[in-house]
Amino acid sequence: MMNDKHKKRRSKKSLLLFLSIGLVFSGLWFSTTSTATFVKAYMLYKTGNVEAKDFSSKPKSPQIEIAEKPSKKETLNLEYPQKPEVGDLMGELLIPKLEASLPIIHGTDEDELEKGVGHFAQSVLPGENDNSVLSGHRDTVFRELGEIGKGDIFIVKTYAGTFTYKVRQVRIVDQDDRTVIVPKPKATLTVSTCYPFDYIGYAPERYILVADLISSK
């Protein structure tokens, strides 16, 4: 009777040992598989310890943001404190050869041209890169402009500074020639008036002086 009980105890111990060993190996296998990783991640996510992530086997490439190339500022190399309004007195044009000092008015309508030299409002302001265009009547402010030629000087004074230009080209063009106001690759002053100077009535041509900026203060 005692032998039977002893055998049963040994059988139970052997079974328990076998089960224990099986559980250990099962645990090791389980913890090293992707299934365990998924279960662990899921449990952490459900308990609020981590944010939801993509657990796909292939990692996604990081998103790279490419900054936009800044646009190039093409026209200005100085800033005026404020832009003039049409009709404003914006400076004066000095012509040393003629010993003349003429007011510059922003705009080229008849109202502005009656007051002085008009600045074409769609062109850049004096001293800035590109083409600044001035116009005046041949029988008032520009009565003697025909005496100005290549190599002569214009000085423009505005509240942004004093700008000296030297005439490099004299042109006579048709009244409808739009090349007078085209953009220029550098700071240029274009001065125009009606031509011929002694013409009776509305003159059909324009006398054009093209001058390059040589100094500024």
Residue 107 CA from chain centroid, whole number: 27
Average pLDDT over the chain, rounded to whole?
Answer: 76
Closest CA to 167 of 136, 202, 191, 132: 191
The pTM is what? Answer: 0.64
137 is catalytic: yes
Bridge partners of residue 134, in order along the sequence? 119, 191
CB atoms within 10 A of CB 101: 12
pLDDT higher than threshold 50 for residue 160: yes
Tens of pLDDT, residue by residue over 57-85, are 333 333 323 233 333 333 345 667 788 99
- Exactly one of 6, 106, 119, 194 is catalytic; name it: 194
106 is catalytic: no
- Exactly one of 6, 106, 119, 137 is catalytic; name it: 137
